[in-house]
Chains A and B, each alone.
Chain A
Amino acid sequence: DTEVTQTPKHLVMGMTNKKSLKCEQHMGHRAMYWYKQKAKKPPELMFVYSYEKLSINESVPSRFSPECPNSSLLNLHLHALQPEDSALYLCASSQVGPYEQYFGPGTRLTVT
């Protein structure tokens, strides 16, 4: 099973709201990732977790707060977002190291 699941599929939120995105995998991978993808652009890395610890933060604003509660789950907590944060948010997982990354279907986020 090479499936990464993400919920919700779509999310509309106001600039004062707090919401969370969820990602789950059951492939035994110990590295998980958040990417942001704007329309007609390639994905951009936001965060990397290795063995449930944050290993890479690509200078992402603090209104995005990642969390890895266990080896199968990855959350992205959102607070006080701006309209320019509207994008497709993709989760991925892999073995730790330079291995194949498997992506989920994404959450389409719209900030109004």
Chain B
Amino acid sequence: KQEVTQIPAALSVPEGENLVLNCSFTDSAIYNLQWFRQDPGKGLTSLLLIQSSQREQTSGRLNASLDKSSGRSTLYIAASQPGDSATYLCAVDLQGAQKLVFGQGTRLTINP
């Protein structure tokens, strides 16, 4: 059974810092990995999708990497801003089955 773990569960940093969120998964037979952000009581916003054949994806201040062999992905956020405060979730798609398995999320707080 695929398990997805995100460490740390919560992170608080001052504004302007660069930071890294971690995601690990137990089964390397994934089709893709998707990073989302969720604001309290809201839906999920897709940030980046990395296909299994890719090593990284970039969007603005965000960069996501994928290492299938080690079962790890990281989300790098550059020059953090208070508006980046949210819960960040990673999810893997098992063998293209359209079944996303989510990690527990990292609750990020950026302090002004």
Contact = CB atoms under 8 A, between A and B. Distances in A.
The answer to whether A and B come from one shared complex is yes
Interface in A49-65: 50, 55-56
Contact of A103 (B43, B96, B104): B43
B49 A100 contact: yes
A31 B12 CA distance: 37
Contacts, number: 60
Nearest to B104: A42
Interface centre among B41, B51, B104 (most CB of A within 10 A): B41
A22 interface: no
Q: Is the interface of A mostly helix, strand, loop or mixed?
A: strand
Contact of A41 (B51, B91, B93, B104): B104
Interface in A1-38: 4, 6, 31, 33
A68 to B, nearest CB: 14
5 contacts: A31-B98, A48-B99, A88-B41, A99-B32, A101-B34
Interface of B: 31-32, 34, 36, 41-46, 49, 51, 89, 91, 93, 96-100, 102-105
Interface of A: 4, 6, 31, 33, 41-45, 48, 50, 55-56, 88, 90, 92, 94, 96-106, 108
